Amino acid sequence: ERARLTEEILNRTPGISCNPVQGAMYAFPRIQIPARALAAAKEKEQAPDMFFCMRLLEETGICVVPGSGFGQKEGTYHFRMTILPPTEKLKLLLQKLSDFYTKFVREFS
């Protein structure tokens, strides 16, 4: 149920795509990062997905792991997140993440 919920909420967020969760613990969504965010990441000497993950942590308290640590294809951006929290908490976390992403894209578009 948590895997389905994760895919459902993230896939309805424009700019995020989440393949079916393989296994029981992690999702690995792909995110689109606006050009201005790419430039801001470069200015901070951070990988773009690290820049996103740090902003997410700083602004929401949600901790995810940048996909650049997992050998993602160059020019694509992902993060890894656990789907272990209880369903109701996971639902709130996913909505908070979705809201943050929408705000992030607006800020850097």
What is the CATH classification number for the domain harbouring 90?
Answer: 3.90.1150.10
pLDDT for 23 beyond 80: no
Q: Which residue has the tokens 């470069």?
A: 42
Number of domains forming the structure of the chain: 1
Q: From start to end of the chain, where are the E strands? A: 16-17, 26-27, 30-31, 65-66, 77-82
Residue 12 burial (CB < 10 Å; 0-12/13-18/19+)?
exposed
pTM over 0.85: yes
pLDDT in tens, 11-21: 999 999 999 99
pLDDT for 63 beyond 80: yes
Could you tell me the residue range of the domain that residue 47 belongs to?
2-108
